[in-house]
């Protein structure tokens, strides 16, 4: 099948965002033999989202960019868009639900974006985006279901293969599918034998439920350590559902206790605090549902409140 985002699109995104984002390191896990960690949580703004947001902003025609940009977010994409918009000197509006942790809300505000808190779900936040586009003339930069965003996230796949040309498998956090579909498009194009595995939480994993149903479905958003993986895929999903269905070899769901254990493990081997969404791949390995040997686990973000992480280190869930 012809995918809506191709290797050429991802290579063009890599050239476009070069100098605007960091190339993040890879680290061999000293406790899980054969496992390699892609340290994307050390990205500027603390998460992979900067890649897609920057590519989308830099791809906009000047007249649309000048009117400003708007998005809905569970936190990290909003922070990334605020950063990219400030760098471009344009207005940014970020719509968040009440489930977004306060530290992520504050981080978006600190980058100069206008924050609008609306409703108890990502879908309600997206309804405010539609209103802002219609009433205020802003340009939407979606958090995942957008070709420029997907291509930007796909640059992570190019980086992974640049450091490790043919891994056995790549474990990638799975939410709306922008990260998973972009990385999978790059990896499968260059290393077809590499297995692409999407990993999500058991509580409210919309893409996993949609793939199981064979079409986009709505699921209830529930509190979870992997809050960045919350939100729906959009019933009118145009890009990421089809790409995930075509490119992912497997989907694994992990429990809250497994996520917490993985967060403690990552801290022990790297010294870093990562958010729950970033730990799901390592959680799958620790739980015995994915092999360590020949595997890359993508650590997608590190934006977790210090007090929440302290509770997890003490043996709690947050």
Say what the pLDDT of residue 123 is.
79
Residues 6+ apart with CB under 8 A from 254: 199, 200, 201, 202, 262, 280, 283, 284, 287, 289
Say what the pLDDT of residue 82 is.
97
Q: May I ask the CATH class of domain 50-140?
A: alpha beta
Sign of CA dihedral 75, 103, 14, 182: negative
Q: CA triplet 34, 39, 44: central angle to 5 degrees?
A: 170
89-103, 138-152, 173-187, 262-276: the lowest-pLDDT one: 89-103
Q: CA triplet 288, 289, 295: central angle to 5 degrees?
A: 90
Residues 6+ apart with CB under 8 A from 213: none
Whether the pLDDT of residue 1 is over 80: the answer is: no
Name the pLDDT band for 104 (thresholds 50, 70, 90): confident
Q: What are the pLDDT digits (tens) for 7-51?
A: 999 999 999 999 999 999 999 999 999 999 999 999 999 999 999
Say what the pLDDT of residue 28 is.
98
Whether the pLDDT of residue 318 is over 60: the answer is: no
Query: Would you say the CATH fold of 50-140 matches that of 7-47+146-313?
Result: yes
Q: Are 269 and 10 in contact (CB under 8 A)?
A: no
The closest of 270, 291, 238, 314 to 5, measured between CA atoms, is 238
Q: Are 42 and 25 in contact (CB under 8 A)?
A: yes
- Tell me the mean pLDDT in the region 147-159: 98
Sign of CA dihedral 204, 157, 90, 82: positive
Q: Are 113 and 92 in contact (CB under 8 A)?
A: yes
- CATH 3.40.50.1100 corresponds to the domain 7-47+146-313: yes
Whether the pLDDT of residue 302 is over 60: the answer is: yes
Q: What are the pLDDT digits (tens) for 176-189?
A: 999 999 999 999 99
| Structural domain boundaries in the chain | 7-47+146-313, 50-140
Q: Are 140 and 73 in contact (CB under 8 A)?
A: no
Q: Are 205 and 255 in contact (CB under 8 A)?
A: no
The closest of 39, 113, 107, 42 to 76, measured between CA atoms, is 107
Mean pLDDT of all residues belonging to the chain: 95
Share of the chain above pLDDT 70, in %: 99
Say what the pLDDT of residue 317 is.
58
Share of the chain above pLDDT 90, in %: 88
Residues 6+ apart with CB under 8 A from 67: 91, 137, 138, 139
Whether the pLDDT of residue 240 is over 80: the answer is: yes
- Give the β-pairing of 35-38 and 295-298: parallel
Q: Calculate the CA 17 to chain-centre distance.
A: 17
Say what the pLDDT of residue 99 is.
83
- Tell me the mean pLDDT in the region 193-205: 97
């Amino acid at each position: 099948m012809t995918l809506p985002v191709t290797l050429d699109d991802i290579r063009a995104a890599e050239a476009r965002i070069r100098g605007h984002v960091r190339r993040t390191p890879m680290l061999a896990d000293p406790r899980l033999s054969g496992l390699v960690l892609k340290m994307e949580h050390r990205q500027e703004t603390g998460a992979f989202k900067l890649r897609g947001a920057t590519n989308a902003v830099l791809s906009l025609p000047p007249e649309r960019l000048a009117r400003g940009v708007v998005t809905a977010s569970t936190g990290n994409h909003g922070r990334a868009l605020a950063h990219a918009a400030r760098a471009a000197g344009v207005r940014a509006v970020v719509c968040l639900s009440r489930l977004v942790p306060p530290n992520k809300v504050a981080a978006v505000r600190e980058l100069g974006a206008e924050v609008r808190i609306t409703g108890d779900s990502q879908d309600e936040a997206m309804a405010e985006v539609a209103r802002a586009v219609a009433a205020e003339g802003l340009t939407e930069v979606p958090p995942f279901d957008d070709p420029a965003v997907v291509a930007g996230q796909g640059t992570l796949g190019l980086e992974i293969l640049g450091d490790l040309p043919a891994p056995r498998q790549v474990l990638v956090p799975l939410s709306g599918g922008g990260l998973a579909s972009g990385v999978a498009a790059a990896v499968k194009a260059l290393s077809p034998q590499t297995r692409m595995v999407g990993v999500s939480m058991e509580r409210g994993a919309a893409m996993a439920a949609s793939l199981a149903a064979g079409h986009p479905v709505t699921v209830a958003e529930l509190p979870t350590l992997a809050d960045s993986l919350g939100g729906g895929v959009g019933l009118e999903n145009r890009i990421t559902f089809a790409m995930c269905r075509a490119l992912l070899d497997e989907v694994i769901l992990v429990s809250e206790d497994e996520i917490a254990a993985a967060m403690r493990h990552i801290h022990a081997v790297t010294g870093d605090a990562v958010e729950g969404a970033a730990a799901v791949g390592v959680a799958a390995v620790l739980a015995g549902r994915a092999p360590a040997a020949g595997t890359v686990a993508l650590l997608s973000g590190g934006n977790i409140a210090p007090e929440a992480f302290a509770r997890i280190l003490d043996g709690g869930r947050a």
